[in-house]
Structure 1
Amino acid sequence: MQFGIFSVGDVTPDPTTGRTPTEHERIKAMVAIALKAEEVGLDVFATGEHHNPPFVPSSPTTMLGYIAARTENLILSTSTTLITTNDPVKIAEDFAMLQHLAGGRADVMMGRGNTGPVYPWFGKDIRQGINLAVENYALLHRLWREDVVTWEGKFRTPLQSFTSTPRPLDGVAPFVWHGSIRSPEIAEQAAYYGDGFFHNNIFWPQEHTKKMVDLYRRRFAHYGHGAEEQAIVGLGGQVFMRKNSQDAVKEFRPYFDNAPVYGHGPSLEEFTSQTPLTVGSPQQVIDRTLSFRDTVGDYQRQLFLMDHAGLPLKTVLEQLDILGEEVVPVLREEFAKNRPATVPDAPTHAARVASAQNRKGVDA
């Protein structure tokens, strides 16, 4: 199982000091957080994609390529690549290039984002969001698997005998996660292609997460990719930890109360009771995260959101120390217990290359 962190790259004032970091400071902080993730033994760093203030990650592959040059083991991903408003040809090129630069340590999460105005900014119609996601990914899927593509669709100009360059590393496309919180059409899309489904359940009760993941698993099996338990599932989460739970709650409360995404709404206690947000001791985070398996079954990737709501970099790095030293080692051990042999491991480039070579051997 893979453990990691994802960032939305928000530039938010620290409510305890009133200071807002500059865009430059926030970008450099995201890089420092990624490097810290590798240092403490995490598996994945993922960044979102936004094209509006107060967010900075408008060019995820640029950032991930820079991080790739400074790391050795970390899998580099997106926590959203906007399949609706990005040209699938450019996605194919950018992520194949990243895949080469990172030595295969790259995958991608497709999503529609949560910023409605982004559609007209890129000449798209939000009313066609699902249709754009379906058509654009169908083209992207072919671009990575066919050396020469002739294609015609509704939302972009046709392609005649087009070759996307560079070709995927070792002839194996980057692994794709389809991320969604509420759209069953996206779970269906992930199942149809046999790709991974990532339910970023940070704002939703577990009952909803279960419905979405169960749908994906059923449809994954329906399309002949394997049994339901062989589907590839990832989950989001949010945590804030201190040695004593009371200290964690006291320190995190002003950040929660003033956060743009959930401040001035439900109380911290209400929100933690209804969503995966866990504020407390490392053991509380361990217990809460292990409970996710009771909801969705054995799964492959767990990502945590830790650098949001104006938390200063120093605090986030402290959180990563706790996560890497006290939490993840226990989670790895506990999640491995009683894990059926039929449940696949988390996807890696090396494993997927080996699988592709085995298939070629069988076909030969």
Structure 2
Amino acid sequence: MQFGIFSVSDVTADPTTGKRPTEGERIEAMTRIALKAEEVGLDVFATGEHHNPPFVASSPTTHLGYIAAKTEKLLLSTATTLITTNDPVKIAEDYAFLQHLSGGRVDLMMGRGNTGPVYPWFGKDIRKGIELAVENYHLLRKLWREPVVNWQGEFRTPLQGYTSTPAPLDGTPPFVWHGSIRSPEIAEQAAYYGDGFFHNHIFWNKEHTEQMVRLYRQRFEHYGHGAADQAIVGLGGQVFMGTTEAEAKRQFRPYFDNAPVYGHGPSLEDFSELTPLTVGTPEQVIERTLGFADYAGDYQRQLFLIDHAGLPVEVVLEQMEILGKEVVPVLRAEFERRRPAHVPSDPPTHASLVAAGPDGPHHLVEPARPKVDA
């Protein structure tokens, strides 16, 4: 099972000091966090993609390419690649290039983002968000799998005799996750292609997460990719740890109370009860995280949000030490002990997809026809 960190890249003032990092300082902090992830034995670092303040992650491949040069094992991913407003031609080029730079240590997560105005900024209509996600992703698959592409759709100019360059490393496109917290159409899209489905899992109750993941699993099986419990699932999570629960809450409360995304709303205690946010001891984080599989099933990737709401980078790095040395080793062992033998322990990687050969299902633009009736 893979464990890692995802960052939303917010530039937020520390409510305890009033100090707001510069954009450059925030980018440097994210880089330090990524390097720390490898140092403490985590598997994945993922960055969001945003094009508006207070976020700085407007160019994920630039940042991930820099991190790739400074790491050896860390898998580089995105917490969102905007499939709706980015040109799929440019996505195909950028992430294939990153594959080559990193030696294949790349996958990515497609998403529609959380900022409505980004659509007109990039010349798109937000009312067509789902349609854009569907059409653009199908074109991206063709660009990565066909040496010469002839294509015509609704949302961009046609392509005639087009070849994307560079081609994917080893002729093998990156593995793709589809991230969604509220759109069943995206769970359906992930299932149709046999791709991964990532539920952010930080703002919603467990019943909602269970419903979305169950839909994806059912449709994954319907399209003939395997049994429902073999579907490739990832979950988010949000933690802050201390030597005692009281100490963790004392430290984290001012950041929670003033966070741009949920500050001045429910109390820390209420939010922790309603969502997967866990503020307490490492043992409490372990127990809560292991419980995710009780309603989401055995899954393959767990990413934690730690660096947000103005938390100083030194505090984030301390949290990662605890996560990497006290929490994740226990989670790895326990999740694997419980996992049935027929359920994948890891999501596909570049090495596993290359080993499956060029005739494997990953190389198909259109998935094989369903093996079961509707």
Q: TM-score, normalised by structure 2?
A: 0.95
CA separation in 2, counterparts of 1:226 and 1:244? 43
- SS of the aligned residue for 1:72 comes to coil
Deviating more after overlay: 54-63 vs 337-346: 337-346
**Correspondence for 1:283:** 283
- What is the Cα deviation at residue 358 of structure 1? 7.6
CA separation in 2, counterparts of 1:296 and 1:282? 22
CA separation in 2, counterparts of 1:265 and 1:85? 31
After TM superposition, the structure 1 = structure 2 runs for residues 223-242 of structure 1, keeping only pairs within 5 Å, are: 223-242=223-242
RMSD across aligned positions (CA): 0.9
**Correspondence for 2:188:** 188
Change (3 A) 1:192 1:35: same
**Correspondence for 1:91:** 91
The reply on whether 1:167 has 2:200 as its aligned counterpart is no
- What is the Cα deviation at residue 346 of structure 1? 2.1
One-letter amino acid matched to 1:170: D
CA separation in 2, counterparts of 1:346 and 1:221? 16
The reply on whether 1:252 has 2:255 as its aligned counterpart is no
The reply on whether 1:353 has 2:354 as its aligned counterpart is yes
- SS of the aligned residue for 2:178 comes to strand
Moved over 4 A (4+): 357-360
One-letter amino acid matched to 2:355: A
- SS of the aligned residue for 2:76 comes to strand
CA separation in 2, counterparts of 1:229 and 1:109? 21
One-letter amino acid matched to 2:287: D
One-letter amino acid matched to 2:36: K
**Correspondence for 1:5:** 5
After TM superposition, the structure 1 = structure 2 runs for residues 96-135 of structure 1, keeping only pairs within 5 Å, are: 96-135=96-135
CA separation in 2, counterparts of 1:352 and 1:209? 28
- What is the Cα deviation at residue 249 of structure 1? 0.3
After TM superposition, the structure 1 = structure 2 runs for residues 1-364 of structure 1, keeping only pairs within 5 Å, are: 1-344=1-344, 345-356=346-357, 359=360
1:76-103 Cα shifts (integer Å, max 9, x gaps):
0000000000000000000000011010
CA separation in 1, counterparts of 2:120 and 2:19? 32
One-letter amino acid matched to 1:354: A
- What is the Cα deviation at residue 356 of structure 1? 2.1
- SS of the aligned residue for 1:150 comes to strand
One-letter amino acid matched to 2:351: A
- What is the Cα deviation at residue 338 of structure 1? 2.8
- SS of the aligned residue for 1:202 comes to coil
CA separation in 2, counterparts of 1:126 and 1:137? 16
Runs of at least 5 residues in structure 1 that lack an aligned partner in the other structure:
none
One-letter amino acid matched to 1:200: N
- What is the Cα deviation at residue 357 of structure 1? 5.4
One-letter amino acid matched to 2:256: F
One-letter amino acid matched to 1:355: A
- What is the Cα deviation at residue 359 of structure 1? 4.6
1:51-85 Cα shifts (integer Å, max 9, x gaps):
00100000000000000000000000000000000
One-letter amino acid matched to 1:342: H
- SS of the aligned residue for 1:89 comes to helix
- What is the Cα deviation at residue 352 of structure 1? 1.1
1:139-190 Cα shifts (integer Å, max 9, x gaps):
0011111111100000000000111011011111000000000000000000
CA separation in 2, counterparts of 1:352 and 1:343? 17
User: How many correspondences in the alignment?
Assistant: 360
**Correspondence for 2:364:** none
- What is the Cα deviation at residue 23 of structure 1? 0.3
CA separation in 2, counterparts of 1:245 and 1:38? 27
- SS of the aligned residue for 1:177 comes to strand
One-letter amino acid matched to 1:7: S
- SS of the aligned residue for 1:76 comes to strand
One-letter amino acid matched to 2:239: V
